[in-house]
Structure 1
Amino acid sequence: MAWNEPGPNRDPWNQGPGGGKRGGDGPPDLDELLRRLKARLGGKGPRPPSGGGGAGLPAGLLGVAIAVIAALWLFTGFYVVDEQERGVVMRFGAYSRTTVPGWGWHAPWPVEKVEVVNVTQVRQVNDRATMLTKDENIVDVELTVQYRVSSAEQYLFSVDDPDMTLRQATKSAVRETVGRSEMDFILTEGREAIADRTKQLLQDRLDAYKCGLIVTEVNLQQAQPPEAVQSAFADAIKAREDQQRIKNEAEAYANDRLPRARGAAARQLEEAQAYRDQVIARAEGDASRFSQLVAEYRKAPKVTRDRLYLDTMSTVLSGSSKVLVDTKSGSNQMLYLPLEQLMKSVPKTDEAPDYSMPQGMAGRSGISTPVDPARTRERGR
């Protein structure tokens, strides 16, 4: 109500407990004023007259409003964490706990706050720069680093910008690795070794910084000399590749020839061994046969001599063509012998028949060595 509103008892500063005035011009009673203000807001104490200009808020509605506001405030504390994420709860800005995937609740703001971090997403950083090698050459290197979050707590609280820290650590690690390697090694067979060494150095530094990151893969995409000298390096690399190719071909030829030579040598050794055993066995057999023949010859010289003669003639004549002519018939007819046909019918053998006799046996028996076919025919007549 207005202070100058007409009517009795309308001045709020001059109303006493009984509704009267304290004095015409005296100061208002502050205790009474506060008491009335509290009664209007809390719904307690004396109510203002029903004919007044305004009405107070009922106590029930005020309580419901406060309860609804409190429920909404508490409801803001619910949150959801996906399977590939982790929730980090902070209480008054300090780390409190890490929650697993699913529903969660934290004390609403400003008491607690939650930060959700993706710990399965593979992130990637590319780095390309010109570096100095161990042998004081310059090489252009392009590198790709793949990583992910290993600790959500360290990722949020250990360093200010973990991703930027990883980029700087990557530059440092690859420069250190290239600076300890020679250019020929980097351009040829050292790509995988450079990537592995860079990955190890990078992970060690990230662990020392406690960034909460883990390096999953480091790929050396490109390593080449500067453009001004690329043609010269290309020729050198081609020559080196030709050298390696020719070396591989020579090794392949050696690997093919050496086993063959070893096999041929082993085969010759086996053949020589077999020939030696054969000669020894044949000599032993001849000696045994000679000893047996000597014993039989001493018992019956004539019979043994005739037997040897017949065996020798059987051996000689078995491999030749034979023509029998009856010279005792007394006929003077001229005989025609088709020698050409007879020679064609002679069987061919790889080796000539051995007509020789043991030397000891020939000396004792009086039989010549080798046997002469002409003399054999004369004896037959």
Structure 2
Amino acid sequence: MMDEEVPASPRAKTTDDPGGRTIVHNIATKSMLLARSLAESGRFALADLKVSLAHLRPGPLLLGAVTLIGVGYALTGVYSVAPGEAAVVRRFGEIIQPSVEPGLHYRLPWPIDRVDIVDVTSVRREQVGISAPEEEHIHPEPPTKLQTLSGDTNVVDVEVIVQYQVSVPADYITNVEYAPYRIVRDALRASVTRLVTRLPVDALLTSGRQSLQQAIREETQSRLDEYRTGLVIVGVDLQKAFPPANVADAFTAVNTAREEKARLINEARGYANSRLPEARGQAQQVRAEASAYRSRILANASGTARAFDLLWDEYRKNAEAYGEDITRYRMYLESIERIMPRVQVYALDNANGGTFNLRLYGAKNGTTEEASR
């Protein structure tokens, strides 16, 4: 049986093919001829240069020209930094001076050292979510609409203006590879999108705006620091947070009702605050009247008690004079008081001319005669 022939790999096939060897040989031959031709041309050119400069001899003119060229080359290393700017010096791509202050300075000439000057005082401004750019909008890309979901899954349009500037020139030069406003804009949009999802729409439209604005600034700065952009956020202004146009009327009605509720609550609190002093005054008056009434009642009771004590003293005296049956005597007197106005009473002295006791009840001495008509 004959062995089955196994096909070779493409590389092996190319290597064993006589046609392939011929092509490689031709390329190598032509390359050698080209190199030899270039060498001959270079040798002839060098010979021509030597012939043209053969008449020149080292002297003051040549030395002065070389010196002038050297001094001019050295002077290219002088540079100045204006106020409000900072310079970053790199040597063969490595930063050797991260922040050079304003003034006149020197660095090694190109291509050894390179100087990049950065404006570190100007405050730049970027708009996010504003459909109509402001007049000071300087870059060609207009702001785009920013819509995000609130914590209760409502769509909210957000408009933010951010101000920023360069704070670390070295980081700005080495890490910001494209327009800085794009980095700031993208970081701001990411921060707004994440933070808005934490708040309900009512908080976004009313009480939560101030805290959200501060949180947006802090998180945007954190993102820029993470990217090592050398940029610092100067301020964030949350211009608007409003619902889309198709539901704006409903949100406006809700906000109006909420404001009306707050107004009524404030009016009620104001009324309560105005009535409280009056109520306190009335309460104080009632307490004063009650205290006076108490004093008056106590005084009357004390007087009544003293009068009773006096009567009690008289009672005891009369009890000693008239006996123990005071009640019966009192009833007798009350009856006499009712009868006496209708009678005439004559009192006569006794025959002996002594004293006459006018006691009408239980008389022990004297004689009493009564005549009635």
Q: TM-score, normalised to structure 1's length?
A: 0.60
What letter is aligned with 1:112? Answer: D
Provide the C-alpha distance between the structure 1 equivalents of 2:303 and 2:226, rounded to a whole number of angstroms. Answer: 90
Q: Is 2:252 the counterpart of 1:252?
A: no
| 3-state SS of 2:264 partner | helix
Task: Specify the code of the residue in structure 2 equivalent to 1:140.
Answer: D
* C-alpha separation in 2, matches of 1:285 and 1:89: 108
Cα distance change on mapping 1:292 and 1:109 into 2, 3 Å: farther
Among 259, 276, 286, the alignment partner of 1:268 is: 286
1:125 aligned to 2:142? no
Say which SS state the counterpart of residue 192 (structure 1) adopts. helix
Q: Which has the higher contact order (CA 8 A, sep 6+)?
A: 2
**Structure 2 residues not aligned, in runs of 5+:** 1-42, 130-145, 314-329, 331-373
Tell me, in whole angstroms, the C-alpha distance in 2 between the residues paired with 1:66 and 1:274: 119
1:207 aligns with 2:208: no
Deviates further, 144-153 or 257-266: 257-266
Looking at structure 1, the residues matched to 312 and 150 of structure 2 have their Cα atoms a distance apart, in angstroms, of 94
Q: Secondary structure at the match of 1:184?
A: helix
Alignment of 1:183-198 (within 5 A): 183-198=201-216
* Secondary structure of the structure 1 residue equivalent to 2:250: helix
What is the aligned partner in structure 1 of residue 163 from structure 2?
146
CA distance in structure 2 between the partners assigned to 1:150 and 1:206 by the alignment: 11
Decide whether aligned partners of structure 1 residues 61 and 242 sit closer, same or farther in structure 2, where only a CA change above 3 A counts: same
Partners of 1:288 and 1:118 in 2: how far apart? 103
- Alignment RMSD (CA, Å): 3.2
Q: 2:257 & 2:224 partners in 1: Cα distance?
A: 41
Aligned mates of 1:148, 1:81 — CA distance in 2: 18
1:224 to 242, 253, 256: 242
Q: Distance in 2 between matches of 1:86 and 1:165?
A: 21
Counterpart in the other structure of 1:342: none
1:271 Cα shift? 3.2
Q: For residues 292 and 105 of structure 2, what CA distance do their matches in structure 1 show? A: 91
Matching residue of 1:7 = none
Give the 3-state SS of the residue equivalent to 1:142 in structure 2.
strand
Distance 1:79 1:281, change over 3 A: farther
Q: SS in structure 1 opposite 2:128?
A: strand
| In 2, Cα distance between equivalents of 1:120 and 1:277 | 82
Q: CA deviation at 1:263?
A: 2.9
1:155 partner SS: helix
Partner of 1:216, secondary structure, is: strand
Change in CA separation of 1:153 and 1:294 when aligned onto 2, cut-off 3 Å: same
What is the distance in 1 between the residues matched to 2:57 and 2:268? 105
Letter aligned with residue 154 of structure 2: N
Mapped to 1, the partners of 2:72 and 2:105 lie a distance apart of 16
Find the counterpart in structure 2 of residue 177 from structure 1: 195
What SS class does the counterpart of residue 223 from structure 1 fall into?
A: strand
**Counterpart secondary structure, 2:110:** coil
2:114 aligns with: 113
Deviation at 1:247, TM superposition (A): 1.4
**Runs (5+) with no aligned partner, structure 1:** 1-29, 42-47, 49-54, 296-362, 364-381
Query: What amino acid is aligned across from residue 89 of structure 2 in structure 1?
Result: V
Query: Hey, what does 2:69 align to over in structure 1?
Result: 69
SS in 2 for 1:198: helix
The structural deviation recorded for 1:285 is: 7.4
**What per-residue deviation string (whole Å, max 9, x for no partner) do you get for residues 101-131 of structure 1?**
1111111111111111111111111111111
Partner SS, residue 177 of structure 2: coil
* CA distance in structure 2 between the aligned counterparts of 1:79 and 1:294, rounded to whole angstroms: 124
- The Cα of 1:260 is off from its aligned counterpart by 2.2
The match for 1:155 is 172
Normalized per residue, which structure has more helix?
Answer: 2
CA distance in 1, matches of 2:303, 2:65: 130
1:83 deviation in Å?
A: 2.3
Within-5 A mapping of 1:88-107:
88-97=88-97, 98-107=99-108
What secondary structure does 1:146 align onto?
A: strand
**C-alpha deviation, 1:66, in angstroms:** 1.2
Following the alignment from structure 1 to structure 2, what is the Cα–Cα distance between the partners of residues 285 and 224? 80
Read off the aligned partner of 2:104 and give its amino acid letter. W
Deviation string for 1:244-298 (max 9, x for gaps)? Answer: 1111111211222223212321332133224423554576578779989999xxx
